Structures are given as C-alpha cells and as structure tokens.
Structure 1
Amino acid sequence: MTITLTGCSSSGSGAKSSGLTTITVGTSDIGTENFNPFNNTGAFMQPTQGVIYEALFYYNKTSAGDPVPVLGTSFTWNSDGTQLTVKVRPGVKFTDGTAMTSQDVAYSLNLFSKNPGLNTTGTTWTATAGDAGTVTVAFPSTSFTLGPQVLGNLPIVPQAIWSKIADPITATNTDPVGTGPYKLKSFNTQSYLLTKNTTYWGTGDDAPAVDQVRYVPSSTANVTQSALDAGTLDITGNFLPTLKSIVAQHPNLAYTNTPQATSSLFTCVNAAMGCTGPQTDLAVRQAMYYAMDRTQLGTQAGAGFSLPASNVMILNSVNKSQIVSPDYMTAPQAADTAKAKSVLEADGWALGSDGYYAKGGQKLALSINVVSGWTDYDTICTLLQAQFKSAGIKLTVNTMSQNAWLQGETSGKFQLSMNSVNMGVSSDPYYVFNNYLNSLATAKVGKNATTNTSRFSDPAVDAALKQLASTNDDAVKQAAYKTIEDKVAAQMPYIPVYVNSALAEYNNSRATGWPTASNLYAFPLPWNSNWGLGLVLKKIRPVK
C-alpha cells in the first residue's frame, strides 16, 4: 500500500499554487464501494476504521502503554469487572453536522453486542447512556479482558442512520457519516477522495493538517519500489525485499519494522464443516510443519526482516510469559524431512514411484492460494514447493487477486492459504485465540466465516475462551492458555512460517511527523483493520 503527498495547483503558465495539500494512498485493490465499519469479512475500504469512523480509545499494539483517548476521555471498572463506565468526549459532531451523544455511543456498543454475527466473544453486554456524558456497560460476569474490544475496536455511529439499516454486516454504507478526521468526498472504481473534516473535535496536534486523502490502486511491490525510487511516496505499507538498499540510496527515506503477525499456512481443517482435501488429515499438516526449512524461508522470502515464530499462534516476544511450554516457544528452523515422512507413513501414506505419497488412491497433492504481487508470500510458496517435494508432498501455487484470495478464505473454498495470524486490538493473546479459533467466528464451507477461516472448532477451546473473557485472575488465564495452546500445537490449523515484518516506509522531504522506531505512537500500516492510521494522518505536517 502506498501514500503519495502532492501539492495541487492551477494549470496554466505562471499560475500560483492553490495551497491545497493532498495525500494519495495506494491500496491493493479497489473493489465494491464499502465503508461499513461493522463488515467483518475484510471487504470494507481501508480508511473506514480510524480515519472516517473512530472508537472510544486507541490501543497501540506496538507498546504496553495506556490507551489513547479518542471519543472517550476516561473509563473505570467496578471491582468485580462487571461494569465499565466511560466518560464521552463533549462537543463531537458527526460529519453530517449532528452532535454525537452518549445515546449514540450506547447504541453503537449495543448494536455490536446484540448481533451474533458481529459479536463472537460469547459474552453480550448492555450499554446505557447516563447523565453528564457517561455510558455504563454492564456485563453478565467478570469481563476485564473485553475492555479493549468494547473500548478500542467498536466504531461509534449515528443512531439516527444505523437504526434504519436492516443488516449492519452486509450494508455497503456508500455515504459514510462518522466522527473521524476525514470524510468521503467522491468515489469511483479507479480512486476515491477524502476531505478534511472541518468540524473535527481535535485541536492542535489532534487536528489534521493535510486537506485531502486520495486512495488509488497499487497492488505490487514492484510498483511501490518504483515510486519510492522516483520519490513520489510519503508512506507505504508494502513488504520490499530490497528495502535496505532503497533507503541507503535515498536519504529522505526511512522505515519502521514492527513484527506483529505470524505468517502461516491457513488450512481449511474441518471436514465436518465441509473442508475437503489432504490437509484435513492431521498427519499431513504435521508433515508440512516438519518439512519446512524456515531458515531458508526467512532469509530468502523475509529478506532478513523476519523472526522465528512460536508454534501456538502468539508472539514469542510480546507474549513470552503466556506461552506455557518451552516446546511451544519456537517452531523448528531446519527441515526434518525424515520426520515428515515417518509421520505420513505411520498414517498409512505410501511413497509412490513418482516421489509423492498417496493413500487410498489419493495422491498427496495440495494447492495454496496467495495474492499475486505479495512478494514475500509469493516467494514463500515457491520455496515450499521444493521443500514439500523433498517430503513427498506435491504443492500447486495459485496466485490470484486480493479479492479472489479473500473470498476463497472467507467462503472456505481453499485447501491452503498464505496469510498472517495478526494481533488483535491489543497485545492480549485472548484476541488472537478468539479471532482465529472461536467456533462462533466461523461457518460451514460455502458460507462466509468472520475471522476463523480455518473452520477450526473445539469445545474445550471454546470453553477456555469464555474463561479468558470473564476473568482477571492470572492463574485462571494461564490454565486457559494451556488448554488452547495444547490444542493448537496438536491440531495445527495454522502452520507457522515466521514472524513477519510489518514494514512501513516514509519520505520525510514533504511531510514530517511519521512514526519512527523510537516513537511508534501508533501502529502505522495502512491496513483495513488498523485504527492507528487515523492518528498518523492527524499527526503529520506538510513541509512548508
């Protein structure tokens, strides 16, 4: 993804600049116009969360600090974690000119809570607007863990508009009305334009200084690299294997590397929910796990920016204390082809004369979906073809557009998919486990899953997730982590590759105030589900 800063001026000889400052953001694809902040399939436009719509607070997952006040100014829990009281920021207006009230806040929180298609936590809550700009959120049991979800991951929308929308999940919301620093000005399939919200509540450093933000397609690393070389980008979120040499050649360029996700093979794992293919066999998933040469993958695909991953989905840096066994801390870095083969043979697979295993007349042939132009992931898949072949596993790589790849995952019509297990709204491991393992977050093949696209389902994991959502007791949490991590390590619905690099590159010649390695005031990547980009767009200042 790319962002370009330009100065717009009148045409004609001797014309003076209009002074209008425009930032151009490149996205992987511009598909159906969709600015629905409640859409949970990833199909909404990038600026929806954090730029057009805002939450009550911002949780910066790059640090362990306190959340940043946004539409809320403070919050308190009662002693047993069953009631959360939020002070709502006064004087906020929606972009249609109407005042945001505590009734809008309560409505927005309840809209999510009461819709089972949106709320996959297993716990519902009831928000009530009180006097003096407060909202009280009541939970049926201790729910400290749900604080970041309620406070930092739910958009506040106008009740007058959304109460008339029949389905808050499928609505495309082509005329978005939010409270954010920018609002939609125009849209077409080639680009769309946001303009500064002149009635925005922020002042000083909290007020945006850039007039317009334009979003255009920029789908490949090659396009991004060319633009960086040409000096036309101000911020980009693409992985670039030659980044270090690019920065060395351009003194105005800088970058941040924020490891926050585990690059993994997502498997459609659950035959009972309609998944088909050899990957539904546990022995096959185990064989793939052992057949990987992760050192080669990190060096050649990760370009030296990656780190070794745990084999239980959470980060062994941020969440080290929550990884319950030394055996789970780091996935094997060298391939163990002999072990991969022994696992298959113990499961009844026999090596054929063609060098591939087969069982019951079925060859061990798998396909993996990957987005064309995602250089690191494309390289991983190419390298895995050779690594898996050594273990008797045939792998076919399907490169495709991002929209097609996303639809394949959400519908369950895939065998393997190259993707990342991302941190949730905060660094709490609950959010990773709940997003990717909760039975409430998945669906049968053919129907769209929300975040659990592997179709994993286990009653013991679901029960442990409910425990995590309703306790503040560290001993209870560790026991629940053990239940979940034991199941993940045993079942391998997501096969880890490495901790990938969330690279963001900046050009300081036309705008300043970008995040730096020493001041990651917000997670900087321009991704659909990143609330932090709104803070970045407010912070930057054009160079005069």
Structure 2
Amino acid sequence: MKHKTPLVSLFLAILMIFSLTACGGNQQSGGGSETRDSVNFGLTGEPSSLDPHLLTDQMSYAVWYQLYDTLIARNQDGELVPAIAENWEWNEDNTVLTLNLRKDVKFHDGSMLTADDVVFTIERIHNSKRIGSMLISFDRVEKADDYTVKLYYTAPYAGALNSLASSSFSIVPKAIVEKDEEGFANAPVGCGPYKFVSRSSGEKIVLEAFDDYYRGAPSIRHLTFKIMTDGVSAAIALQKGELDILSHAPLTERQNLIDDPNIEWYETEIAGLMYLLYNTADPVFSNAKLREAISYAIDKNAMILGACEGLGTPLEGWLPPSVTGYDPNYKNGHELDLEKAKQLMVEAGYPDGLTITVLSQEMDMYYKPTEILQNQLSKIGITIEIQKMERAAWIQEIGKKAYGMTIMHWTVPVGDGDVLYELYHGDSIQSGQNYVGCDDADLNALLEQARVEVDAQKRVLLYNQAQQIIIDRGYSFPLYTFMAGAAANKDLKGFQADAIYRFHVYDYSWA
C-alpha cells in the first residue's frame, strides 16, 4: 500500500485547492481572498418600463440610471457636471443652448453616439405624451455638426440644464428605436455603464458591465435588480445577505436595520411629497363639496406617525421645501375640522355618508397612509374599500383615469415649481401627467405666468396663488414630505440616500 500514498496525498491536495477556490471566489473583502464584483439591488416595486421616454416612475429610474446616460449629469454633491456633452454654452439672451458632445461615447451595440441620436432623442421627448411638458419653453433642436447640437427656447428657462440632467432625458440610439420601438422597450440599448441581459417580470432584471463605457468599465461587473414588493421581507433579505442594497427601505424597519452591525442605514429628506389625488371626471369625485369635505377630515400628523414612524413634515402647499418656489410662510387654511367636514358632506348631498373604492399600490409607503385615511374618513361617514394593486397596474389605471381617489407620491426631479404646470395645466391632460383632469382658466394663467417670470419673489407669489386654487377647488390635497430611507451592506462603498432616489451603481465598490 505504500506505493499509493503519494497519489492519495496529491489527490487530497487538489481537492483542498478546489475547495478553497470555491469558498474564496466572489467574496467581499474580509470574507475571502477576492473582492466581490456583483451587487443585488432590491426594489420594492416593479419598474414600469425600460424605455425612459414613456413615463416617470421611481422604480424605473433606478434601472435607467444604469442603462442610459444624459447630456448633463449631477454628481453626488448635486452639482451639474458634463456627461455626454463635454461642455455647453448659452447665447446672450439665454434662449439658445449649444452642447458640444464627446466623440468617444458608444452604445451597447458598439455604434458611436452622434448628434443624430441626440436630436432624435430630444424630438422624441418633445413628442412624448408623458414627459413632453418637461421641455419648458422649448422650440426646436438642430444638429450643427456630428458632435454639436443646438436647443432653441422661446424664452429663458432657469431649469433647462436641470431638465437635461434628469434620467427622463436619457439619450437613446436613433437607428435601434426607429427600427423596433417595442423591441427596444423590451431589450433596451443605451450608452450607460451597464447593458441589459434579461428580465423576468415580477422577479428580477439582470444587467452586466459595459466594458466600452466612455468613463471606463465599472468595478461592479454583475448587477441584478430583485423585485420584492413587501418592504419588510426585503429588509429581512438585506439582513440575510440576499440583497446588498435596498433603495426604498421602509421606515418601519429603520431601527432594526440601524441596529444590525452588517448594515449601514442612510436617510435624507425627500424632494417630493405624498398627496391625495382626485379624478374630477369621476361621477362621485366631480363633486367639489365632497372633495372639500375630505380635506377638513385629514389629520396629517397622525398619518405621518402611522405611515412613516413620525419621520415626516406636514405640508401646507404642494411644493416641498427643497423645491424652488416653496414658501415656508404659506398657509392653505384647510386645517383638521371634523364638524366642518360633516357639514360639507351634507352640502355635497351625502348626509348619510357613502362607500368608495380607493386604489392603492401594494408598497407600504402608499398602502399604510391609505389605511390611515380609511380610518380618518370613517369619522365623517365615508367608508373606504381599498383595492390593493401591483405597482405597474396601479400606474396604468391612474394614467387612464380609471380611479376616483388615490394617495400619490411625487418626486420633483427638476427641483422647480414649474412641476405644477405638468400636473395641473390644461395642456397637460393629453401631453403631460394631469391625472386630475383639471382645465382651470385661472390656474392655467398663473402657471403660464410663473413659467416665464424671472423675478424669484414674484414666482413664489404666483405659485402660492396657484397652490391655493389647487387646494381650494379640490384638485388635490398635500399631505406630507418624509425622510427617504435606504440601506446597504456596510462593506459597499459609495452608496448614499438621495432626495430624488438617484442611484449610480457605477460609483459603488466593495471595501
């Protein structure tokens, strides 16, 4: 038997090498000999579309930021920086913006990005029914040469560069989109740091690093977005190591995640708000007195306590504090007053109350305040039956105005009060996101005037007047702003919470 001993020893040594390799591969620092090159990114809602020009949607944004790039970007400090456009310049009266493009930007299919793609993209955005109104005071776009583009505006607009930095302004390849628009939406091609691999609806979206990205290949090579609509389950998955990032971490799990030594908790006040949205074309909610009654029955502080662990601020107006046009001294005059609410119910024709169905997304940030609203409105005779829906289905129903009342969340990506134009001006019923369906001459006039007003104080006054009309006439009712919570594996560097949920995996790395 002695002559077999060297062979046995060699065999055991080989097994040991393979065992160590298997255990040590794809590990983060401290867990093995190699640094991880993958990230599992948890989303608590299904992205509605991978085409960035069809709608605005937070869950979709998370994927778009990886697949696409914009002409101008914002760094982690919120400063505007060059991206596809290496520099830009306004003419003397700020109505013509000239952008000089980089010459080394490739799409994921290997084709080079040129001015033709930029012109095509801007025109596509301008014609979009959902985001076209974001091109404020826009006239036309022209190609000056293969790497120079000019945008013409009918009047100066201070937020123009902010708009171009929005993920909704992602540049897409003209040839591919023109050839097969539906195919592009299902298997998108961008010029961002990650390229599309596959999508399993309701389960995951898989991306991988794009080695020819103009800023250099990402250190995170494999990126998987995992869809977990139950926020508590997603938080548990993060703690178990099944997720590395949870971008929309439920505030109900805040303390548990803070207490976990393997998790880092991040938070910042969101540049957005929760609000009550009505469909004024609905047979029930066309009744302005009913809408007014509801506004006097809402206890915002109780809603903040129950829906986001008290980590929020009641809002008087529709614009949150971080948005240009916000006035800290503005008061809307609609305070909690149950007796007044009950009297308005009588005037609305519902002395004995009524039963209504309210659509709600299944995510906690929507469902919890809807449950609280259900309890609060029961005090004035309104019985709410909640119809809990998957995110994409809910967005579809709201978009086609197949609802009466719902709780909505809106993040203001551009950070300017002109967002009210997109949501409440009559022109935006068909071309924007006026889900209320209001076409109010007084409101339209104020929003048109504010759009071109250059005096900052006058703009604030105009937006105060516009918000008062929105609230007094019951088009919507502001509730609260809150802390945006996010959490990640403690060894993941570069991650942070963001006021508009802007996440760039390209900037992340393992310790």
Please report the TM-score for the alignment, with normalisation by the length of structure 1: 0.80
User: Paired residue for 1:181?
Assistant: 193
Instruction: Work out whether 1:154 is the aligned partner of 2:165.
Output: no
SS at match of 2:251: coil
The correspondence of residues 121-140 of structure 1 with structure 2, limited to 5 A, is 123-131=137-145, 133-140=147-154
**Partner residue in 1 for 2:496:** 515
Q: Note if 1:420 corresponds to 2:390.
A: no
Q: Which residue of 1 aligns with 2:279?
A: 268
Task: State the shift of 1:35 in Å.
Answer: 2.2
From the superposition, tell whether residues 343 and 247 of structure 1 become closer, same or farther in structure 2 (CA, over 3 Å). Answer: same
**Aligned with 1:465 (options 418, 422, 447):** 447
Give the whole-Å Cα distance in 2 for the aligned partners of 1:244 and 1:12. 41
Residues 340-379 of structure 1 correspond to what in structure 2 (within 5 A)?
A: 340-345=341-346, 347-349=347-349, 351-352=351-352, 356=353, 364-372=354-362, 374-379=363-368
Residue 539 of structure 1 corresponds to 507
The residue correspondences of 1:75-474 to structure 2 (distance < 5 A) are 75-114=88-127, 118-120=131-133, 123-131=137-145, 133-152=147-166, 153-165=168-180, 173-189=185-201, 190-203=203-216, 207-236=217-246, 237-250=248-261, 252-269=263-280, 271=281, 275-277=282-284, 279-310=285-316, 312-315=317-320, 317-319=321-323, 322-323=326-327, 326-328=330-332, 332=335, 335-345=336-346, 347-349=347-349, 351-352=351-352, 356=353, 364-372=354-362, 374-423=363-412, 425-431=413-419, 433-443=420-430, 450-474=432-456
Kindly tell me: are residues 107 and 469 of structure 1, through their superposed partners in 2, closer, same or farther at Cα, counting changes over 3 Å?
farther
Q: Following superposition, which runs of at least 4 residues in structure 1 exceed 6 angstroms of deviation?
A: none
TM superposition shift of 1:428 = 0.9
1:276, distance to aligned residue in structure 2 (A): 2.2
Q: 1:389 Cα deviation (Å)?
A: 1.6
1:70 partner letter:
A
In the alignment, the residues of structure 2 paired with residue 72 and residue 31 of structure 1 have an alpha-carbon distance, to the nearest angstrom, of 28
Cα 1:370–1:30 change in 2 (3 A) is: closer
For residues 356-377 of structure 1, give each alpha carbon's deviation from its aligned partner in whole angstroms, at most 9, with x where no partner exists. Answer: 3xxxxxxx322211122x2243
8 Å Cα contact 1:36-1:48 kept in structure 2: no
Letter of the structure 2 residue corresponding to residue 225 of structure 1:
A
Determine the C-alpha separation between the residues in 2 that align with 1:259 and 1:331: 24
CA shift, 1:342, in A, is 2.4
Determine which of 17, 20, 23 is the counterpart of 2:39.
23
Deviation at 1:251, TM superposition (A): 5.3
Identity of aligned residues (%): 19
Q: Which moved more, 1:454-463 or 1:34-43?
A: 34-43
Q: CA deviation at 1:483?
A: 4.1
Please tell me whether the aligned partners of residues 143 and 149 of structure 2 are also in contact (alpha carbons under 8 angstroms): yes
Summarize the Cα distance change of 1:409–1:459 in structure 2 as closer, same or farther, 3 Å threshold: same
- 5+ long unaligned stretches in structure 1: 1-10, 357-363, 444-448, 517-521, 526-531
1:5 aligned partner: none
Q: Is the 8 A contact 1:114 1:124 kept in 2?
A: no
Across the aligned residues of Structure 1 and Structure 2, the Cα RMSD in angstroms comes to: 3.0
Amino acid in the other structure paired with 1:127: V
Q: Which runs of 5+ in 2 are unaligned?
A: 1-16, 27-33
Contact preservation (8 Å) 2:98, 2:150: yes
Shift of residue 427, structure 1, vs aligned partner: 1.2
Q: Answer whether contact 1:30 1:216 (CA < 8 A) is retained.
A: no
Q: Distance in 2 between matches of 1:229 and 1:461?
A: 48
Q: CA deviation at 1:243?
A: 0.9
Q: Using CA pairs below 8 Å that are at least 6 residues apart, which structure has the higher relative contact order?
A: 1
CA pair 151-260 structure 1, distance change in 2 beyond 3 A: closer
TM-score (normalizing by structure 2): 0.85
Is the Cα contact below 8 Å between 2:47 and 2:57 reproduced in 1?
A: no
Cα deviations by residue, 1:460-516 (Å, 9 ceiling, x for unpaired): 33343333444434365345424422321212322222113321112213x211126
Per-residue deviation, 1:452: 2.0
Q: Deviations over 1:222-258 (max 9, x none)?
A: 2112123324432211323131233124354222133
Q: Distance in 2 between matches of 1:163 and 1:83?
A: 27
Letter in 1 for 2:245: I
Give 1 or 2: higher helix fraction. 2
Amino acid at match of 1:307: T
| 1:176 shift after superposition | 1.6
Which amino acid letter does the alignment assign opposite residue 21 of structure 1?
A: D
Inter-partner Cα distance in structure 1 for 2:500 and 2:456: 31
When residues 234 and 472 of structure 1 are mapped into structure 2, their CA distance, relative to the original with a 3 A threshold, is same
| 1:486 and 2:500 aligned | no
Aligned CA distance change for structure 1 residues 156 and 303 (closer, same or farther; 3 Å): same
